[in-house]
Amino acid sequence: MASAKKPNILWVFIKNVASPVFIISAIVLAVKQIPGVLDFLQWAFANAGTTGQVVIVVTTGVGLTYFAVVSMNRQERVAELKAERGMLEERLRLKEAELKQVEENNIRLAEEGVKEDIWRRDVLGAPRFLEKEERSARFIALLNLKGGVGKTTLAANLGVCLALMDRPLKVLLIDLDFQATLSNMSVEAAALLVAGQSGNTSSRLLDRTLARDDFAKLVLGINRVPTGRIIIADVALERVDFQTQARFFLEPKNDVRFLFRSLLHQREIADKFDVVLFDCPPRLTTSTVNALTSSDYVVIPTKLDERSFEAIPRTLSFINNLRTIAQPKIIGVVANEVQFWRRPKLIKAHQNGMARLKELVKASDPDLYVFEAMVELSTDVAFNKEKNLVPSADKGVRKALFEPVATELRTRIGK
Ligand SMILES: Nc1ncnc2c1ncn2[C@@H]1O[C@H](COP(=O)(O)OP(=O)(O)OP(=O)(O)O)[C@@H](O)[C@H]1O
Ligand SMILES: [Mg+2]
């Protein structure tokens, strides 16, 4: 670490005493050349009397000494500040190196964690999964490891449909993607800001110490949907997801796979809602694992193209790999963004797509269901009329696009 460097006293004397004296002398000599000035000074000095002369000489001497002392102190202070800056820069360098080390460790943890498949470690003790008969809520995860297939769209619109049907259900949406698309779609901007700033977001569900009363603070209303509630996500979730996973990697006793279950499977919470929908990210995060260990059902949305189909076996084997810790029933695959030739007839490409999907699903798991109802590709979904509003809050959109799937889902979960 840099230490304070003492200034060279000779240099300080030359710079701060000798130079000013030299400059002042030069000025005096120059002033002397002005006609009358020297005569006036001589006259003033001669007429000042002995006391006056002593005062002039002493004042000049004291002035110069004061000036020199002040200058030297200032110089020392500057040197101290420079040393302090050096010290801070050094500390910053050390912190940056530390941070780099942490990042490298994080990458190593992630790689080794995946290799070791930490999510399948033995369970040393898990909170109880409340039987369906003991609670009113049904927990459903919307999951597909492929991005952009409609998980968020379905979570939001199916949730709103179920909350606005003739026999409305009490719905809770939980946003588990740090990109917070579901949150932005469901909650007024001002309320989002307040909840985000006070940290009342879904990353708190991964906080082991979260009390039941604090859980209530996380729950916000869905814009214009009286029986709809949501727990929003924010960017902090990415870090919290990762830190929680890393902690489990380092301390296997600190099991982080059942944190949602320990909260949501308490009767006081599970009886407040009829349906809880988890909007999962297209990734294997701590939140995704937690959603699965608390869920009764999984819904897999897909588009009807080959790229989307590729993700289905991957998603199924991801869920099946976790069977030792999570046993949700895969309640079905829902086709999204379909195009009709003339209702109910699909365009040729999507007729073929649907046949191919059924084939593929059957090959992966003969018991797996493909929903009869589908969601049509529509500009009412892609371009919200209002920014912070789920499209299904509009009755026309709801009836035309999402209610058939919502009704089928409702029948299948027996609600
Ligand atoms: N039926 C539809 N009609 C028109 N656009 C749609 C439809 N479904 C989804 N989209 C659009 O496709 C995009 C992706 O949808 P969405 O965000 O629901 O997918 P996702 O699976 O949640 O994606 P991610 O994996 O990134 O979370 C969005 O812009 C959405 O508006
Ligand atoms: Mg999404």
Q: Is the same domain home to 155 and 49?
A: no
Tell me how far apart the alpha carbons of residues 156 and 224 are, in angstroms, rounded to a whole number.
Answer: 13
C-alpha 265 to ligand 2 mean position (Å): 24
Q: Where residue 106 falls among pLDDT bands split at 50, 70, 90?
A: low
Instruction: Look at the chain and count its residues.
Output: 415
pLDDT of residue 1: 45
**pLDDT tens, 270-297?**
999 999 999 999 999 999 999 999 999 9
Number of neighbours of residue 98 by Cβ within 10 angstroms: 10
Mean pLDDT of all residues belonging to the chain: 91
Query: In this structure, which long-range contacts are made by residues 77-81, counting pairs with CB atoms below 8 Å and at least 24 apart in sequence?
Result: 79/4, 79/5, 79/6, 79/7, 80/4
| One domain, residues 108 and 168 | no
2 has pLDDT over 60: no
Q: pLDDT value at position 295?
A: 98
3 has a pLDDT exceeding 70: no
153 lines ligand 1 (CB under 6 A): yes
Residues 306 and 363 in one domain: yes
pLDDT at 189: 93
Q: Which two tokens stand for residue 201?
A: 């977001």
125: helix, strand or coil: coil
Residues with Cβ within 8 Å of residue 374, at least 6 apart in sequence? 334, 335, 336, 338, 404, 405
The response to whether residue 184 sits with its C-beta less than 6 Å from ligand 1 reads: no
Rounded mean pLDDT of 7-31? 80
Q: Which atom of ligand 1 is nearest to the CA of 181?
A: 17
Type of residue found at 142: L
Instruction: Name the residue of 153, 285, 312, 401 whose CB sits within 8 Å of the most ligand 1 atoms, as the mutation to test its pocket.
Output: 153
- DSSP, collapsed to helix, strand or coil, labels residue 224 as coil
Q: What is the mean pLDDT of residues 170-183?
A: 97
The answer on 140 and 75 residing in a single domain is no
- One domain, residues 61 and 208: no
Judgement on whether residues 109 and 141 belong to the same structural domain of the protein? no
Q: Would residue 30 count as lying in a domain?
A: yes
Report the separation in Å between the CA atom of 166 and the middle of ligand 1, taken as the mean of its atom positions.
27
Q: Which atom of ligand 1 has the smallest separation from the CA of 378?
A: 3
Please indicate, yes or no, if residue 39 is contained in any of the structural domains.
Answer: yes
Do 52 and 146 share a domain, yes or no?
no
Residues 6+ apart with CB under 8 A from 203: 233, 234, 236, 237, 240, 241
Range of the domain at 139: 134-413
Token look-up 């002493």 returns 58
Nearest of 175, 137, 369 to residue 276 by alpha carbon: 137
Q: What is the whole-number distance in angstroms between the Cα of residue 142 and the centre of ligand 2?
A: 9
CA distance linking residue 144 with residue 200, whole number of Å? 26
pLDDT band at 16 (very low <50, low <70, confident <90, very high): confident
* CATH number of the structural domain spanning residue 229: 3.40.50.300
40: confidence class by pLDDT, cuts 50, 70, 90: confident
Residue 277, domain member (yes or no): yes
pTM of the predicted protein model = 0.76
Band of residue 116 on the pLDDT scale cut at 50, 70, 90: low
CA angle 198, 204, 209 (to 5 degrees): 110
Please tell me whether residues 148 and 111 are part of one structural domain.
no
Residue 14 domain flag? yes
pLDDT tens digit sequence for 340-365: 999 899 999 999 999 999 999 999 99
Q: Does residue 126 lie in a domain region? A: no
